[in-house]
Each structure stands twice: as structure tokens, then as C-alpha cells.
A and B are shown apart, each in its own frame.
Chain A
Amino acid sequence: MADTIKLSVNGVEVEVPAGKNLIDAVAAVGIEIPHICYHPALGADGNCRMCLVEIEDGRPPLVAACKTKAAEGMKVRLDSEKIKKIQRDIMEFELINHPIDCPICDQAGECILQDYYVKYDHAPSRMRVPQVTKGKKMDFGGGVVHDQERCVLCARCVRFTRLITKTGELGIVNRTDQARVNIFPGRPLNNRYALNVVDLCPVGAMTSKDFRFRQRAWFLTKSKGICHGCSKGCNIYIDHNREKYKDDIIYRYRPRHNALVNGYFICDAGRMTYKLENEKRLRMPLAAGQQVDLESAVNALKRRIDQADKLVFLVSPSCSLEQMRAIQQLATHKAAVLSGYSEGYIQKGDGDDYLIQDDKSANRAAFALLGIDESKDTLTAALNEADLLISFGNDLSLSGMVCTALGKTELAFVGSYANNCADAASYLLPVASYSEDSGSIINIDGVLQRYGAAVVKNEPLPSMLQILAQLGGAFGDVQAVWSDLNSAVEAFNKVDLQNIPAEGLALTVSEVDNVTA
């Protein structure tokens, strides 16, 4: 079967992917069929009626695009007066009982009713009778607040809890215009993906308690990012803003679609890791226990390294691929023992069969590819004789070692987040976190993904790569690291940094290339 078919839209022939419904088929060539209840992850429900299109010579002549498979030779009409009137009429029905909450509604600026009103409606209101009133500000649990009046009853949230999480907390009760979304009393939203309904909801009926009233959508810069909450590496939007006289901070994470990694959703725990980017960050450099400026701290640590008898470098499994390689190079150069010991990052049994992984680090897969030793024995043996341990972001206390009781080993910490290990360090170099930096990580399925810097602080912290170069490393920048990776590490021989697909690159770890059947 061919991958594409030819059909015509508004009299113009287009070539579209085969096997899809009309909405997805023509979206692939940049044509929008407005729709509310359809969602590719949830299937077509056919209740909003916004996607009605004409099929010339079709039986029936008017169809819901979401429920109609694109067929060879189909003649689709979106621009006729009839369809335009239907779109205005559907919008009118959606709006007659819709509360005028825009001034206080989170969704303003990213609301389908607002967007479609401007694009497809623009007609004045003819509603002169009392509106239907329903419940507002309803706590559904899971951090979700529901407004029944704003709800357009697209049923996306209900389908999400039934089809995706299979927990079924949500339903639509009553009939006629009394229909409303609700939870069964005493059984609120209680799953680890509940906040996805906030993103799924096309209007402000589902809002996040955490985000409510905190920022207007049009002030947010929506940067692409990758969640570092576990080894799945779900794709996210990092929504951030710098208010006047304040710093650039992150207000929320939202899922970003990636067919190869997370699909359309992310977990709630990962979604909330944006707080770690804002709060409890390492800011003040330390040298020998004293607060100093950054340059002094770097120089002090550099001297201390040169003075050291036995060096141990401990690398975090959440460091980027480039950071790990640069640390590895510096370790070799300085004859330091290199360890990636981080078993505390793995919460056995916590993962599920969907997105959540036991391993709460973002890039452990790179350890294997780079040949970095993770064993406890190697580390404990090295620590017995070491007089300086430099942890690059690795919170050793998670893995059961008390960082204030390392004996004669002095502790240095180069990282972004405050933790027990950083607290115990006498040398502290704060660096940019992943949301402020660029790099690559490899997830648990072996997919290599690149991410770019999103947030730019008023006083930006240096990147870890810069620090490593200042400490004596060989790599000046990302390019230099990749030249090395391409030539020296087999897994990356054929990886072209400039041509990594948007969805990421599935690496084959074994030497044998998969032979296609």
C-alpha cells in the first residue's frame, strides 16, 4: 500500500499520508480543519461537530472529518459558505452558555474558544435568555480544579482517564444541557498522570492548582526541553517568563509530543520538577569553606586538584553526554578515579508500565556507552585512599553514603541543586542546570535527544563544560566534545550532531546493526 494518497481540498489537489482521518491527513500538508473533541491520543468522539466538512459527490455530503478516513480522490470542501456558516453556528452554540470568565480564566491566550471565535466566528451574541449555570472551582483531586460552566463537554478528560490511565475517575453525568463532568463522590482523581487533563482541556474547565492565577499565557515563552525527572526523557515545554524587575523563572512544564519517547503526555511528578529549577538552587561559590567569587573558587579548586594525592571524580547519571565525556577526559588527564556510582537514584518498584521509570536519573545509559564504572566497590575502594572527591552533580547521600563522614577525603561539589552532598562540600561551584544549558541525553530505551537552553537568568551561571575547561579540561565547547565522541567512542561513530532528528535518534548499543527483515 502506498504511503500517500491524492485528494483535493477546496479544489486543489494535495498529497497526504494514507490511513489517517481527514483532520490528520490534511494537517500534514498544513491545512487546518477546526476541531475540539478529537485528539490523536484519544481517538475521535464526534461530539463537538466543529470538524464538519463537505464531501463533493459524497454520501453523505456532510461528514465529521475526525470520523472519516481520507480516501483517494476525495473532494473535500472547507471554504464553502455552508461550511463557514456551520462553523459559526457551532461556535454560537458553544458560546451561548459559556461564562464570560476570560478576565479570570487561566486558559485565556491559549483557549480554543477564543482562537476559533477570532478565526471562524466573529458574530455578535444573540443570547437573550438566562444561561445554564453549573458548578465552579471544584476540587477534583490530583491538583486539578474543574469549572463545569466553562466545560464544552468534549469528553477528552473522561477518555483520558478511561483509555490512557485506565483509572476512570471522571465521567459526564446527567443529560441534555445539564450534562457536566464530575468525579464520583469520594473517588477523586488519583493517578500519577492526572494533570495531563489540564493540557488536554481545550478551555479553562480544567486548571492546575499549582499554576492557577500565576501567569498569563501570552507572557510565557514556551521553550522546548526534556524532563530530567527520570530516565524516560519525556519531551516538555518549559514555559518561562521574566517579569519586570524580576528574574527569568519557570512557571510550568507541559508535555511536548514525541512519538518515539513519551507520546502526548508526561507524568505529574516529572511535570512538577520545574520547581527544582527555580527553588533551592546552588548560587554561592565556596572555596575551602569560604564564600568567594566564582573566579576565585574555580582557581582555588584548580590548585587543590593539582595538589591532590589521590583524586576521585564522581559523576551524576543526570549529567549530559557532553558533560560526562568532558569529566571523563579531565579524569584521565588528572589521573583521577572516575565513578558513576549512583544506585540511590533508582527507586526500585516505583516505575510503571507506562512512562514512569524506576531510575530517576536522566542519562545513565551514557555510562555504558562511555565505559564509566558504576560499581560501589570501585568507589569505596578509591575513597579509602582519596584526599579529594569532586562530585559533579551526584548526590552521594542518596546512595547511602554520609557526605559529612568521608574521613580524610575533602569534598568538592560542582552542580546546580542544593542537596546533602553539596551542603557538606568545602568547594562549591554552581553551574547552569539543564533548563539553562544545552546538551544531549540518552533515555532508557536508547534514544539520544538534544536539548537547548531555555531560561536565561539575569546573572547566568557558567555551564559545566566551561568550568571543566577552566579546571584544565581539553574541550572548549560542545563541538569539541562531539569531535571526540565521533572519533573515539564507537556508539557515536555514525552520529551526526547537526542531523539528529527532532524526535531523537534511537541508538543501537550492540555492535551488530539490526538487519531489517
Chain B
Amino acid sequence: MSNRAELMESGKPFAFDAERDAEFERLAKRYPSRDSLILPSLWLVQDQQGWISTEAIAYVADRIGTFASQVYEVATFYTMYHLQPKGKIHICVCRTLSCYLLGKQQIVDYLHNELGLKPGQISEDGLFSLEEVECLGHCGSAPVVQINGEFHENMNVDKLKEVLATLQSGGRS
């Protein structure tokens, strides 16, 4: 696992937009403790901004009324929180057990060789980013790849090419 503690600044202050603000207030009623809002709030930040900046962490901490250090801990502990901007098309390849046995490496190698993508990196044009992740709970349809939150099952290099092409052209796969 890499060091996730190097936060990035966006350069602008952060605040929830109206929709997320309303959702925050709705959630606040569902927990007896304010700190329970930390994980949901970080998801709201990521939905709005695409990633979680230093400013956003400070905003969440102050909005909830908790320590910035605690929100910082949570943001770095849970690996789905993006602490840097990701590509428009964020590709998560499962690397564990069944996906490993059924050929995830070919997919990773393809992305490296053809698109120059390394895990943890964004492509130069900002279009793609790649992550190797642990078991995604789709072992029966391995190998599985999650792209921008959607699961693509029984993947191979050919299918991946199709999916990426569709996404690039703005369609949904």
C-alpha cells in the first residue's frame, strides 16, 4: 500500500453545493453522533469535486464540528477516497484470487503497454487513470473491472477495448 497521507490542495476553498448540503442535513438526522457523518460527507465531497482536497477535508471537519485530524485519518484509511484528481475514466482492475487466476494481469499489462498506464497514475491527457484494487465481490464472473463505478464482468482485453472505446465516445457501455 502506498503512502496516502500526502494531501493535495485544490487552491480554492470548498463548500457543499445546494444538493449536497441538503443531503448532509438529511443524513445528520439519522445518526445520534455528528462524527458518523464523516464517511458520508467525504463521499459527498468526492461526488461533487471528483476527489478530496485538503480544503475539503478542513471543510468537512469544521462543518461537522470534529477534528481535522480525524477526518484526515478517515480519508487516508479508506482507499476508495481519491486524494488526487483521477482521470475522466477511472479504471479499477481487481487483482485478487479468482480475478488473478483468470487473467487480470493481461488486462493490467494491456493498459500499461497500450495506454502507458501504471497503477496509481493518470494518463497525460487526463483521460484515464488506473488502480489495481482488491476483491470486488464478483468472483463468479472474474475477471472483473470497475470503471467509473460500474462493474464490467467476465472481462478480457478485447472486451475492455470495446468498453473503453464506448466510454471515450461519451456513450455508456
Contact = CB atoms under 8 A, between A and B. Distances in A.
Q: A and B: direct contact (Cβ < 8 Å)?
A: yes
Contact of B77 (A168, A169, A175, A187): A175
Contact of B67 (A171, A173, A182, A185): A171
A162 B67 contact: yes
Nearest to B3: A178
Interface stretch (B21-29, B68-76, B86-94, B104-112): B68-76
B129 to A, nearest CB: 20
Contacts, number: 61
Interface in A160-194: 161-162, 168-178, 180, 182-187
B2 interface: yes
A447 B63 CA distance: 44
A184 B56 CA distance: 12
Contact of A171 (B2, B3, B54, B72): B72
Contact of B73 (A171, A177, A178): A171
B72 A175 contact: no
Contact of A182 (B2, B61, B72, B77): B72
B1 interface: yes
A161 B82 CA distance: 27
B7 to A, nearest CB: 6
Interface in A129-182: 134, 158, 161-162, 168-178, 180, 182
B1 A178 contact: yes
B34 to A, nearest CB: 14
B149 to A, nearest CB: 23
B1 A173 contact: no
Nearest to A170: B69
Contacts of B54: 185-186
A182 B73 CA distance: 9
Nearest to A166: B67
A174 B69 contact: no
B165 interface: no
Nearest to A177: B1
Given A168-B67, A171-B73, A172-B73, A185 B7 contact: yes
Q: Chain B: interface residue count, which band?
A: 20 to 34
B161 interface: no
A133 to B, nearest CB: 10
Interface in B27-71: 54, 57-58, 61, 66-71
Nearest to A182: B5
A284 to B, nearest CB: 51
A187 B69 CA distance: 9
Contact of B57 (A172, A175, A178, A184): A184
B159 interface: no
Given A182-B5, A184-B57, A173 B70 contact: no
B76 A173 contact: yes
A213 B1 CA distance: 34
A173 B57 contact: no
Nearest to B77: A175
Contact of B68 (A134, A174, A177, A187): A187
A172 B3 CA distance: 12
Interface string B2-14: 1111010000000
Interface string A181-216: 011111100000000000000000000000000000
A461 B64 CA distance: 58
B58 A184 contact: yes
A168 B69 contact: yes
B130 to A, nearest CB: 20
Contacts of A185: 7, 54
Nearest to A187: B68
A169 B4 contact: no
Contacts of B70: 168, 171
B64 to A, nearest CB: 12
Contacts of A182: 5, 69, 72
Contacts of A187: 58, 68-69
B58 A174 contact: no
B4 A184 contact: no
Nearest to A171: B69
Contact of B1 (A169, A171, A175): A175
Contacts of B67: 162, 168-169, 171, 184
Contacts of A176: 1
A173 B2 contact: no
Given A170-B69, A184-B61, A187-B68, 20 more contacts: A134-B3, A162-B67, A169-B69, A171-B67, A171-B69, A171-B72, A173-B4, A173-B72, A173-B76, A174-B1, A174-B3, A175-B1, A175-B77, A178-B5, A182-B72, A184-B68, A184-B69, A184-B71, A185-B54, A187-B69
Interface of B: 1-5, 7, 54, 57-58, 61, 66-73, 76-77
23 contacts: A158-B69, A168-B67, A168-B68, A168-B70, A169-B67, A171-B70, A171-B73, A172-B73, A173-B73, A173-B76, A174-B1, A174-B3, A174-B4, A178-B3, A178-B4, A180-B5, A182-B72, A184-B57, A184-B58, A184-B61, A184-B67, A184-B69, A186-B58
Q: Which 3 A-B pairs have the closest CB atoms?
A: A168-B67, A171-B69, A184-B68
